Amino acid sequence: MSATTKAVRPPWMEKPKPVTSVAKGIALAVVVALVIVPFLVVISTSLASNEEVTANGGWVLWPTDPTLRAYDQIFAGGIVGHALLVSAGVTIVGTLASMLCTVTLAYALSRPGVYGGKPVLLVVLFTFLFPPGMIPAFLLVDGIGLKDNYLSIIAPFLISVFNLVVLRGFFQSIPDELYEAARLDGAGDWRILWSVVLPLSKAALAVVGLFYAVSYWNAWFYSSIYLESDHWPLQQVLRTYVIGGAQLADSSAADASQVAAPQTLQMAVLVTATVPILIVYPFLQRYFTKGVLTGAIKS
């Protein structure tokens, strides 16, 4: 082969043709529109007036006269406000408790020579492969007196096997020299965990913590089984009033013109249930991305 022969590069390394660039731009714009438009419709409908909702057939893309009437009514009724506090409390307490239990157990199982480590790991993995059924879980929760108790939607889900395995693998990837150096300085296991392991595992902890927070925040199925309606979290209230079509506001004591449309009330509850996670996620995004990439390249 001649030295002057031009090397053949793969197609993806070549400069795209103008037609290809235009097609990619159009495809990207369509995808972005498909993602953004539903969110915009939800927010706009929650802020629209009754006349706009009626004129547009129940959904509004851009309100000309935005109002917070729907939000005032859902929080004035007390149901959504109480459910929001329940969801926030369950999410905060559940996430902290789950992180505490998962981190400590993952650290113990990641250390070689721990007494009973392998049997405990096998038991944990067994629960992942063969999860308990709904009826045995209900009988257990009812038998230990957790029925209609907020612990019923926290305690049975305290440790996620997937999150435990992720943290265990991350702790095992920390060089053994760091553990040995800490022990030479007289540090015990708790000191090593707090001063060595946790500072090096911020990305993994952020990912696992976000997984736990989202799962607790979005939990609705077991709350409908274990909790009475006056103790429901926000997601169960959202499902009941949006999908079930129950009334969010009592219009019997008010002028009908001053009561927001059902679609507006439903979308206001949906926005209330979605915004907290959207607020928290940007602060954890850089850790989330780093944790995912780190987990992908570590063996």
Instruction: Record the pTM.
Output: 0.77
- Alpha-carbon distance 222 to 215, whole Å? 12
**Tokens found for residue 115:** 């007494």
Burial of 252 (0-12, 13-18, 19+ CB in 10 A): exposed
**For position 27, what pLDDT does the model report?**
93
- d(C-alpha 232, C-alpha 216), whole Å: 13
Domain-by-domain residue ranges, the chain?
23-67, 78-297
The Cα–Cα gap between 54 and 267 comes to 15
C-beta pairs of 295-298 under 8 Å, 24+ apart in sequence? 295/166, 295/169, 295/170, 295/204, 295/207, 298/169, 298/170, 298/173
According to DSSP H, which parts of the chain are helical?
Answer: 18-47, 50-55, 69-76, 79-110, 117-129, 134-143, 161-172, 176-184, 189-192, 198-200, 202-217, 221-226, 234-238, 262-297
Task: Specify whether the CB–CB gap between 171 and 197 falls below 8 A.
Answer: yes
Query: Residue 98 and residue 247: Cα distance in Å, rounded?
Result: 35
Phi first, then psi, for residue 2 (nearest 5°) are: -70, 145
Which residue, chain included where needed, has tokens 């406000």? 81
DSSP helix/strand/coil, 223: helix
* Count of other CB atoms within 10 angstroms of residue 67: 16
Q: Rounded CA gap, 285 and 293, in Å?
A: 12
Other C-beta atoms closer than 10 Å to the C-beta of 74 total 26
Residue 257: count other Cβ atoms within 10 Å of its Cβ: 7
Q: Let me know: does 217 contact 67? Beta carbons within 8 Å.
A: no
Question: In this predicted structure, what is the pLDDT of residue 253?
Answer: 43
Instruction: Quote the Cα angle for 177-183-188, to 5°.
Output: 130
Output the pLDDT for position 254.
47
pLDDT for the residue numbered 4: 52
Class of domain 78-297: mainly alpha
Tokens of 208: 């696992």
Amino acid letter for position 7: A
Separation between Cα atoms, residue 64 and residue 48, nearest integer Å: 8
Q: What is the pLDDT of residue 46?
A: 85
Nearest by Cα to 272 from 84, 9, 16 = 84
- Distance between first and last Cα of the chain: 41
Give the CA dihedral 141, 144, 147, 149, nearest 10 degrees.
-110
| 76: Cβ contacts below 8 Å, ≥ 6 apart | 249
The pLDDT tens digits along the chain (299 residues) read 455 555 566 666 677 778 888 888 899 999 998 989 888 888 888 888 888 887 877 788 888 888 888 888 888 767 888 888 889 899 999 999 999 999 999 998 888 877 887 888 888 888 888 887 788 888 888 888 888 888 888 988 888 888 898 888 888 888 888 888 888 888 888 888 888 888 888 888 888 888 899 889 988 888 888 888 778 888 888 887 776 655 555 444 445 556 667 788 888 888 888 888 888 777 766 666 555 555 444 43
